[in-house]
């Protein structure tokens, strides 16, 4: 049949067949919807993500999201539905001829929805569904999730895996009270919620597996508006183009967190009067002001993420005891305070110096637009917000730390211990070495385990001052190093009588013809002044000797903040040996020198208690 005859036939049908005409008009309306790019992240972060290749295994439910990301972010991607490959992840990855095996993706997105839709069809249309059958179905889904991930990991894919959840608007076959009528089995909503929990259960049991939750993505808008009505049937429903924008944004934000991209806030600095409470404490007194308890709770949640808290208020310094009385135990959550008549910019700089963090890692909240504008002008590196934006911080990417490590959870307490430590050191008449010996330093250096890798990634992404090269390896690369026989990842923890410092140092070496090349050498700023850096290099030389290594080669690339790490090589008797591309080399000859010894004031090994 010629194309002209086909066109005439379709034209005639369009004119006289109302159902056909309505369907074509509906499709045209759907296809005419444009996908507007939303500003979810800063430009450098998006540029970094643009280089990541995405492989989607699934059906048409992923088409619009892939289209949106390809068109607006320049993603390099492949979807099995588009190439007539299997939409079932388990089938696809078991096929050795699958394009998955030569596409070399950085990110894998899996949708098991084509398998799951059948279970909803039974539930909505079959009266004989039993709870036992549904439990079996859920167990089958669980097994499929885990088996799919295990096969991918067994084939040495170390990148992030994203599970795309089942999109469904609640349209029960038996009406609003259907959950009361399903006495012997799960209703639609009960089965759906159990399924939703399975995604999270699976993600928690695997490394670097994440959930792209359609319910979460649509939580700020009407879910009904995000499900395509044209072919919706209450069993399996397709996301609209508009809905795919929200999903695409969620995917981008999830991957930015995985790769630790973008600005990260390390400390939230709060104004007081009319910001942390209603009223002016110096004028109204304790009884005349009302603390915003909801804002205190938000600050406590941010602190749980490892974000430090500080106060900066233009007030008489003598008012600080009143502030402590007013806040009670909540006053203890703040790691630094500046109650002074100095301008806020000076107070913020002093807080950054006291906490030994970059000024660009501060977030400042103040009700006064004058103060906010002054800080923006004098300290443009600081992120500045109005007081009523504090609630939004819980969802903003710069306040999201991704996977929060045990060290991150304890960070605020560690800073408080550091303040006590610094005060004691200033009061003492002991020499530096005598003081270090008196506080009972214990340093535990070892090869990293799986449980350490999140913290390793966090340090690599966030450390600037004591970082020899500032190479920002992402989590996938760290996984590769961890599995590689040619690489070793050394980490160190530190304790003293004041408490635990946590995992504060990372060294990654690559063996090349009996030479250990130091790829990464970095330490948390909490390690400063404790000789951790020198003793880590001592450990490296001793381990190198055991492995019959001839020399250890370090690299140093100068930045405006890391000059101190160069002195570490000098103090450890490494010899500078040329430079290229602004990177100098530092060599320790293990054939001509004995390994370096540990400092006498430090105990090496894990504490017994």
Assess whether 254 and 280 both reside in one domain. Answer: no
What's 344's domain CATH number? 3.40.50.1000
Q: Which two tokens stand for residue 69?
A: 């990301």
Helical spans, DSSP H, in 218-292: 223-226, 241-258, 281-284
Please name the residue that has the structure tokens 């009319």: 274
**Angstrom distance (rounded) from CA 229 to CA 221:** 16
Model confidence at 31, in pLDDT bands (50, 70, 90)? very low
Helices 43-50 + 63-73 axis angle, to 10:
120
pLDDT at residue number 102:
93
Sign of torsion over alpha carbons 136, 137, 142, 143: positive
DSSP state for residue 286 in the 8-state scheme? G
Tens of pLDDT, residues 556-600: 998 888 888 888 898 888 998 877 778 899 999 999 899 999 999
**Angstrom distance (rounded) from CA 586 to CA 84:** 54
Interval 306-332 mean pLDDT: 92
In this structure, is residue 609 part of a structural domain? no
CB 364 within 8 A of CB 382: yes
Which of 552, 555, 557, 519 is closest to 538 using CA atoms? 552
Tens of pLDDT, residues 19-29: 555 555 555 44
Interval 258-281 mean pLDDT: 91
344: left (phi over 0), alpha (psi -120 to 50) or beta: alpha
Assess whether 281 and 341 both reside in one domain. Answer: yes
Which of 444, 608, 598, 433 is closest to 530 using CA atoms? 433
pLDDT at residue number 65:
93
Assess whether 120 and 223 both reside in one domain. Answer: yes
Assess whether 28 and 38 both reside in one domain. Answer: no
Kindly report the average pLDDT of the chain as a whole number: 87
Model confidence at 141, in pLDDT bands (50, 70, 90)? very high
Give the CA angle between residues 520, 524, 528 to the nearest 5°.
110
Tens of pLDDT, residues 398-434: 988 877 777 777 777 777 777 777 777 777 788 888 8
Q: Which two tokens stand for residue 375?
A: 């800080």
Task: Look at residues 237, 258, 279 and tell me which one is the last residue of a structural domain.
Answer: 258
Q: Which two tokens stand for residue 484?
A: 């590689």
**Angstrom distance (rounded) from CA 462 to CA 364:** 20
In this structure, is residue 317 part of a structural domain? yes
What's 473's domain CATH number? 3.40.630.30
Measured in whole angstroms, the distance separating CA 108 from the mean position of its chain's CA atoms is 17
pLDDT at residue number 464:
85
Tens of pLDDT, residues 163-197: 999 998 887 877 767 887 788 899 989 999 999 99
Q: Which two tokens stand for residue 516?
A: 């250990």
Please name the residue that has the structure tokens 């969620």: 250
Assess whether 60 and 129 both reside in one domain. Answer: yes
**Angstrom distance (rounded) from CA 374 to CA 168:** 49
Model confidence at 11, in pLDDT bands (50, 70, 90)? low
Which of 246, 111, 234, 119 is closest to 166 using CA atoms? 111
Assess whether 94 and 152 both reside in one domain. Answer: yes
pLDDT at residue number 537:
95
Range of the domain at 310: 267-399
What's 175's domain CATH number? 3.40.50.1110
SS3 92: helix
Tens of pLDDT, residues 511-526: 999 999 999 999 988 8
3-class SS string, 479-519: HHHHHCCCEEEEEEEEEECCEEEEEEEEEEEEEECCEEEEE
Assess whether 465 and 435 both reside in one domain. Answer: yes
pLDDT at residue number 30:
47
pLDDT at residue number 306:
85
Model confidence at 13, in pLDDT bands (50, 70, 90)? low
DSSP state for residue 426 in the 8-state scheme? H
pLDDT at residue number 10:
54
Assess whether 379 and 357 both reside in one domain. Answer: yes
Which residues are CB-contacts of 297 (< 8 A; sequence separation ≥ 6)?
A: none
CB 500 within 8 A of CB 459: no
CB 181 within 8 A of CB 174: yes
CB 536 within 8 A of CB 595: no
Tens of pLDDT, residues 56-112: 999 999 999 999 999 888 778 999 999 999 999 999 999 999 999 999 999 999 999
CB 436 within 8 A of CB 602: yes
Which of 223, 209, 201 is closest to 254 using CA atoms? 209
Assess whether 433 and 547 both reside in one domain. Answer: yes
pLDDT at residue number 588:
94
SS3 145: helix
The total number of structural domains that make up the chain: 4
Tens of pLDDT, residues 438-466: 989 999 999 999 989 988 988 998 888 88
In this structure, is residue 469 part of a structural domain? yes
In this structure, is residue 389 part of a structural domain? yes
**Angstrom distance (rounded) from CA 147 to CA 150:** 5
Helices 3-16 + 18-32 axis angle, to 10:
110
Assess whether 103 and 247 both reside in one domain. Answer: yes
Count of C-beta atoms within a 10 Å radius of residue 261:
24
Interval 236-245 mean pLDDT: 88
pLDDT at residue number 609:
64
Assess whether 151 and 185 both reside in one domain. Answer: yes
- Please tell me which residue, 372 or 127, carries the higher pLDDT value: 372
Which of 170, 162, 174 is closest to 227 using CA atoms? 170
Assess whether 335 and 430 both reside in one domain. Answer: no
SS3 163: strand
pLDDT at residue number 21:
53
- Please tell me which residue, 580 or 47, carries the higher pLDDT value: 47
Asked if residue 608 has pLDDT above 60, the reply is yes
Task: Look at residues 209, 230, 258 and tell me which one is the last residue of a structural domain.
Answer: 258
């Amino acid at each position: 049949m010629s194309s002209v005859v086909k066109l005439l036939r379709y034209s005639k049908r369009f004119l006289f067949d109302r159902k056909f005409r309505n369907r074509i008009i509906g499709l045209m309306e759907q296809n005419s919807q444009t996908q507007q790019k939303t500003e979810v992240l800063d430009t450098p972060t998006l540029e970094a993500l643009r280089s990541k290749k995405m492989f989607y295994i699934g059906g048409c439910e992923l088409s619009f999201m892939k289209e949106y990301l390809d068109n607006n972010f320049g993603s390099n991607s492949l979807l099995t539905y588009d190439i007539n490959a299997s939409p079932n992840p388990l089938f696809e990855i078991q096929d050795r001829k699958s394009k998955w095996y030569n596409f070399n993706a950085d990110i894998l997105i899996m949708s098991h929805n084509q398998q799951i839709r059948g279970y909803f069809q039974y539930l909505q249309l079959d009266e004989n569904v039993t709870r036992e059958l549904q439990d079996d179905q859920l167990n089958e889904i669980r097994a499929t999730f885990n088996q799919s991930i295990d096969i991918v990991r067994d084939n040495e894919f170390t990148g992030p895996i994203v599970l795309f959840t089942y999109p469904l608007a609640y349209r029960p076959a038996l009406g609003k009270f259907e959950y009361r009528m399903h006495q012997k089995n799960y209703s639609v909503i009960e089965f759906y919620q159990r399924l939703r929990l399975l995604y999270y259960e699976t993600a928690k049991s695997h490394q670097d597996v994440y959930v792209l939750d359609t319910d979460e993505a649509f939580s700020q808008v009407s879910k009904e508006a995000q499900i395509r009505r044209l072919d919706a049937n209450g069993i399996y429903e397709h996301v609209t183009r508009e809905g795919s924008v929200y999903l695409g944004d969620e995917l981008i934000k999830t991957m930015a967190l995985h790769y630790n991209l973008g600005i990260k806030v390390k400390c939230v600095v709060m104004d007081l009067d009319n910001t942390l409470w209603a009223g002016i404490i110096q004028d109204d007194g304790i009884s005349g002001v009302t603390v915003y308890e909801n804002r205190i709770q938000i600050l406590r949640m941010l602190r749980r993420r490892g974000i430090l808290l500080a106060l900066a208020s233009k007030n008489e310094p003598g008012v600080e005891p009143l502030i402590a009385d007013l806040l009670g135990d909540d006053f203890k959550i703040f790691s630094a305070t500046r109650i002074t008549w100095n301008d806020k910019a000076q107070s913020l700089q002093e807080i950054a110096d006291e906490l030994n963090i970059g000024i660009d890692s501060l977030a400042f909240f103040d009700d006064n637009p004058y103060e906010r504008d002054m800080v923006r002008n004098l300290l443009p590196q600081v992120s500045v917000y109005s007081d009523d934006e504090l609630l939004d911080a819980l969802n903003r990417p710069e306040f999201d730390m991704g996977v929060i490590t045990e060290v991150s959870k304890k960070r605020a307490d560690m800073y408080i211990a550091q303040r006590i430590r610094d005060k004691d050191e200033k009061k003492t008449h002991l020499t530096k070495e005598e003081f270090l010996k008196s506080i009972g330093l214990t340093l535990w250096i070892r090869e990293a385990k799986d449980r350490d890798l999140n913290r390793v990634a966090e340090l690599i992404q966030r450390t600037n001052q004591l970082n020899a090269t500032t190479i920002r390896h992402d989590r996938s690369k760290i996984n590769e190093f961890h599995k590689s026989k040619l690489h070793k990842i050394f980490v160190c923890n530190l304790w003293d009588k004041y408490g635990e410092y946590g995992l504060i140092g990372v060294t990654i070496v690559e063996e090349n013809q009996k030479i250990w090349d130091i790829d990464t050498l970095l330490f948390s700023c909490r390690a400063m002044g404790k000789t951790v850096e020198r003793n880590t290099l001592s450990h490296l030389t001793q381990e190198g000797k055991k492995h019959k290594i001839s020399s250890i080669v370090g690299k140093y690339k100068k930045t405006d903040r890391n000059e101190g790490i160069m002195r570490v090589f000098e103090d450890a008797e490494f010899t500078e040996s040329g430079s290229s591309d602004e990177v100098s080399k530092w060599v320790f000859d293990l054939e001509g020198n004995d390994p370096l010894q540990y400092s006498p004031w430090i105990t090496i090994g894990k504490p017994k208690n």
